Structure 1
């Protein structure tokens, strides 16, 4: 693994997890704003937006460090389904419904970088991926001046097969080294057309967090953390490539039977 191994946090319930996730998120926010006056993060879908809302919309402790400064956030998507933005499968719609629409006005509104909805009905999602890569270049740098964009934070989920973003086990996209954003037309999980950040972009982020909860995750987490073959699963490849930049936030049910050492707080 790159340097030290990832950190695995385990909590008794999702409320305790959300409280610690809030601290982690706002530590990353504050460090990013101190560096370059904004906070650039990428998010996934699934159950993650709900957990994010629980973490970020909870009452804070009143200190300046414990306040989301949403007006300085740039939210990108670690992956997105190539569907209209109001479609039930859209990750944008999910985070809009769960989090964005519920942010109090006094906390400001983030800038949200969606896919170009004009091309979602194209047969080939490559144009959507290319346009999203151009969106990244407008926010980070031209692709010919930097090898990879550097996100302040990427927030990920982990599927029961070990996939993360729309990077699936044994898929050729895991070997993509040049593109920042890739298209997939044959996702083993519907909908089939998606775009995704590539593995080098994910592992190049300054911080990476997985959120995985529930007993349905315990078998895949045991494989990822405790077996050699788990290191070649997409989520395992993030662990290997990014090492101690990776933090896993889980509940006890998700890590039942996992031997890898766990921590109880940040």
Structure 2
């Protein structure tokens, strides 16, 4: 069941907050949401381009592998990318590709040639360069749309998680990668969470998407979400939270939250301890 959210946390322009009582409710609604975006994109453009992160997100996509979606979605029109990836082998336990392959891709008829994973034999720098090149080629032929405002790729949907520190993709608080304006894909070698080497979409690419969904579960995300969504605190720590910087240029943002993650948003009082990021 989707829950109502207490004031004063009104959704910002072009954004929506959905709160769920259970993982199953969230997975059901997320599947319907992705299905609708897919159907609209295929009808309007002939393709559906989706960029994923790893973690719990893949498990929440499980309903798409079941009826009716398994039979009704136009899977051959799907193109799959990763908004971030760890620079590890594809069969490594920490690979987002491996997680997605086992939990989702192997269960639906998406064409293998439409799945764009990073080159796991290259250095992390070269892997980021190669990934951006592949995306640029697809933008040229308009398989991936293009933003009219900044010429960035305009993915139909970017699906993200959020860390307890407020990071999204592999963009971490106060990291120089947050300042990049011209790169579409970059790399980091100093992730505060292992493994240290990763590739990631930059903020301009994320914010250029037609649709962005951020999924958060667990009480450990509550503080980050408070500062990512709330306007009640404008201090430097809150403003440096990457999730707060996700603001679609010409698209829509939907937050999918369980009750634990949304606990600070649903509270009657605005009082909240400083998270100390």
1:169 Cα shift? Answer: 0.2
Partner residue, 1:100: 105
> Is the 2:79–2:115 Cα contact (8 Å) retained in structure 1?
yes
| Aligned with 2:192 (options 171, 176, 188) | 188
Q: Secondary structure at the match of 1:42?
A: strand
More deviation, 200-209/133-142? 133-142
Partner residue, 1:115: 118
1:244 Cα shift? Answer: 6.6
Stretches of structure 2 lacking an aligned partner (at least 5 in a row): 1-11, 269-277
1:259 Cα shift? Answer: 5.0
Tell me the TM-score normalized by structure 2. Answer: 0.82
More deviation, 4-13/227-236? 227-236
**Taking structure 1 as reference, are residues 228 and 67 closer, same or farther at Cα in structure 2, changes over 3 Å only?**
farther
| Aligned with 1:236 (options 234, 237, 244) | 244
| Aligned with 2:257 (options 246, 250, 260) | 250
Q: Secondary structure at the match of 2:215?
A: strand
> Is the 2:118–2:131 Cα contact (8 Å) retained in structure 1?
yes
> Is the 1:41–1:155 Cα contact (8 Å) retained in structure 2?
yes
Runs (4+) of structure 1 moved beyond 3 Å? 107-110, 240-244
Q: Which structure shows the bigger proportion of residues in helix conformation?
A: 1
> Is the 1:206–1:245 Cα contact (8 Å) retained in structure 2?
yes
Partner residue, 2:37: 28
Query: Does 2:53 correspond to 1:48?
Result: no
| Aligned with 1:15 (options 16, 24, 27) | 24
In the TM superposition, 1:1-266 aligns within 5 A as 4=13, 6-53=15-62, 55-60=63-68, 67-103=72-108, 107-109=109-111, 111-119=114-122, 122=123, 125-141=124-140, 147-226=151-230, 227-229=233-235, 230-238=238-246, 240-242=247-249, 245-259=252-266
Stretches of structure 1 lacking an aligned partner (at least 5 in a row): 262-266
Question: How far apart, CA to CA, are the structure 1 residues paired with 2:208 and 2:69?
Answer: 32
1:260 Cα shift? Answer: 9.2
Q: Matched residue pairs, number?
A: 247
Tell me the TM-score normalized by structure 1. Answer: 0.85
More deviation, 125-134/213-222? 213-222
Question: How far apart, CA to CA, are the structure 2 residues paired with 1:48 and 1:126?
Answer: 26
More deviation, 226-235/16-25? 226-235
Question: How far apart, CA to CA, are the structure 2 residues paired with 1:108 and 1:162?
Answer: 31
CA RMSD, 1 decimal: 2.5
Question: How far apart, CA to CA, are the structure 2 residues paired with 1:72 and 1:49?
Answer: 20
**Taking structure 1 as reference, are residues 243 and 255 closer, same or farther at Cα in structure 2, changes over 3 Å only?**
farther
> Is the 1:49–1:98 Cα contact (8 Å) retained in structure 2?
yes
> Is the 1:153–1:208 Cα contact (8 Å) retained in structure 2?
yes
Question: How far apart, CA to CA, are the structure 1 residues paired with 2:138 and 2:69?
Answer: 32
Report which structure shows greater RCO (CA 8 Å, sep ≥6): 1
